[in-house]
Amino acid sequence: MSILSTLYTEIIYRPLLNGLAFFYSVIPYHDIGLAALVLVVAVRLLLHRSIVQSTRAQYVMPELQAKLKEIQAKYKDKREEQAKATMALYRSYGMHPFSFLTPLLVQIPVFIGIYQVFSKGIAVNDPSLIYSFLPAIDAFNPIAFGLINFTEPNVVMALAAGISQFLQTYLAPRPPEMPGTKTDDFGRMMRWQGMYVIPIVFTVIAFGLPSAIAFSWTAFNLAAIVQQTWIHRRFSYERNRSSRASGADSQHDGNPRGH
């Protein structure tokens, strides 16, 4: 086993599997469906900081790119000054050039781990992966909510995965538009694909996978809708507060003392 594979197992996969085992052991009736739901919510909460960072970067990127073009035009032949102005611009937004990439480096391995936990972890093929301080589990009872066998494909769960993916994209707050720019055209194309193409692909794939995976996708999407709504409201509040503060400063500057 390679070092990277070992690190992935010990840092990502094994903690997620044991998280599922822990919730399964403490939840009444040991329902795998409830345990999976709690695990997904817990993972979304743990990733909340990185999700806020990536969402913030997406939200301000159109405006940021427009200002970057202005800097490039202004300091066209002055590379050093252009670099300084660019970094100053990123700092003014509380970002850095890799603000998109860094959160993804955290999120993607976790999402892969969740997929593997629900695709092969339910059978507990290797009981030694369960931490010794947790109750011994040879296998999870795969029947979720007394209705769904998590080890078998399920049409309803596959459709739920596709529909929830559509709703997540449809309800996701959109960053400010920049009409007539390539950035805006690309953004519209990506939203269209995310809203219509990806849900269909997810649904088709889920038809042939264990329903545990479709359920985890659905739970992730529903949790994401709640999370995105909260983040959008927070950003809107921050922008409105900043606008009010700027307006108050302008009004103060336009009304000298004594008037």
**For residue 186, pLDDT beyond 70:** no
**For residue 197, pLDDT beyond 70:** yes
Cα–Cα distance, 135 to 147 (Å, whole number): 25
**For residue 61, pLDDT beyond 90:** no
Average pLDDT in the 195-220 region? 91
Quick one: pLDDT band at residue 230, thresholds 50, 70, 90? confident
130-174 pLDDT per residue, tens: 998 988 887 889 999 999 999 999 999 999 999 999 998 888 766
Cα–Cα distance, 258 to 3 (Å, whole number): 72
pLDDT at residue 12, as a whole number: 93
**For residue 234, pLDDT beyond 90:** no
227 vs 218 pLDDT, higher one = 218
- Position of tokens 């700027």? 246
CB 165 within 8 A of CB 217: yes
> How many CB atoms are closer than 10 A to CB 256?
7
Strands (E), 66-173: 143-144, 148-149
Cα–Cα distance, 121 to 140 (Å, whole number): 9
Tokens of 4: 């990277």
Cα–Cα distance, 140 to 128 (Å, whole number): 15
pLDDT at residue 219, as a whole number: 94
pLDDT at residue 108, as a whole number: 87
Cα–Cα distance, 253 to 249 (Å, whole number): 6
66-121 pLDDT per residue, tens: 888 888 888 887 888 888 888 888 888 777 777 667 677 778 898 899 999 998 87
232 vs 147 pLDDT, higher one = 147
Q: What percent of the chain has pLDDT over 70?
A: 82
pLDDT at residue 174, as a whole number: 66
pLDDT at residue 187, as a whole number: 58
CB 174 within 8 A of CB 188: no
**What does the radius of gyration of the chain's CA atoms come to, in whole angstroms?**
23
**For residue 183, pLDDT beyond 60:** no
The CA-atom distances, in angstroms, between 132 and each of 39, 127, 137, 217 are: 20, 10, 10, 29
224 vs 76 pLDDT, higher one = 224
Quick one: pLDDT band at residue 19, thresholds 50, 70, 90? very high
pLDDT at residue 203, as a whole number: 93
Average pLDDT in the 49-66 region? 78
> Across all residues in the chain, what is the average pLDDT?
82
Q: What percent of the chain has pLDDT over 90?
A: 33
